[in-house]
A and B are shown apart, each in its own frame.
Chain A
Amino acid sequence: MTADQIIFILCAVVIIVSALMVVTTRKLIHAALWLVAALFGVAILYAVLQASFLAVVQVVVYIGAIAILFIFAVMLTRREMLDKGAQTRSNWWLPALLGLLILTGLVFLIIGQPAFSRTASEIPADVDTLRNLGTALVSPDAFVLPFEVASVLLLAALVGAVYIASDKKK
């Protein structure tokens, strides 16, 4: 087993365990924090996959913004320590079963596909992934339109979120 594989397995364990804790832990604030851990693991995975930009963006956006947002939301919606009582619904076994089924199905499909057992090839030395990413994002021949639309989407989400969450009691 090579080093990458070990790193990968460690990372995968972290991610899976954190994810499991996210969905099972009783206290909501713990769940948010476990999510942070899971996201960190994903960022490491991006780095292993040599998508460095994405790793950074993951940390900054997901952990730095989204997870923080979750924590704020938890804070704003707490009432009398509502973490008492069961946190999962009574019929949790059905989603578990469904998840297992989907997992086994997907795994089965993945393993059955011989094309997926390839290993990664080297990135050629002259390919600058970062530069290419930047160019792709703003180049009219590439993905400038989705990029701009995503910006508009973010603007709309921003305005919408502000409006929805505003306190209209005045």
Chain B
Amino acid sequence: MSIPLSWYLILAAALFAIGLFGVLSRKNAIAILLGVELMLNAVNINLVAFWRYMDPAKMTGQVFAIIVFAVAAAEVAVGLALIISVYRRRKTVVADEIDLMKW
């Protein structure tokens, strides 16, 4: 492998930034969750890259990535359930309109 580690890391950083942009700027709540998924994937890339480049014999990196998978799945499930529930009540999925907890 002649790909320097830094390439993976830069890729993960870029993906993370894009995901962040999506989270902060999309109106639709589901689109926000899409951004979150991108960020989680960026994290996973980081983890796996480090596993492969530091010490492939120890499985810590992969295990961590697997746990991240599980958590991401759980989070998406619950998040989407919430969005659907909110949609049922208030007939909207625009994040800016779900502002009951304001001042």
Contact = CB atoms under 8 A, between A and B. Distances in A.
Interface of A: 2, 4-5, 8, 12, 15-16, 19-20, 22-23, 28, 31-32, 35, 38-39, 42, 45-46, 48-51, 53-54, 57-58, 61-62, 65-66, 69-70, 72-74, 76-77, 79, 82, 86-89, 91-92, 94-96, 98-100, 102-103, 106-107, 110-111, 113, 116-121, 123-124, 127, 129, 132-133, 135-137, 142-143, 146-147, 150-151, 153-154, 156-158, 160-162, 164-165, 167
* Closest 9 pairs between A and B when the two form their complex, measured CB to CB: A23-B22, A95-B24, A157-B74, A120-B1, A165-B81, A161-B81, A136-B59, A92-B25, A99-B17
Given A16-B14, A73-B84, A110-B6, A46 B78 contact: no
Interface residues of B, number: 72
B41 A39 contact: yes
Contact of B6 (A4, A31, A116): A116
Interface in B64-103: 65-67, 69-78, 80-85, 87-88, 91, 93, 96
Interface string B45-78: 1001101110011011011011101111111111
Interface in B1-35: 1-11, 13-28, 30-31, 33-35
Contacts of B15: 15-16, 19, 38
Nearest to A103: B17
A156 B49 CA distance: 30
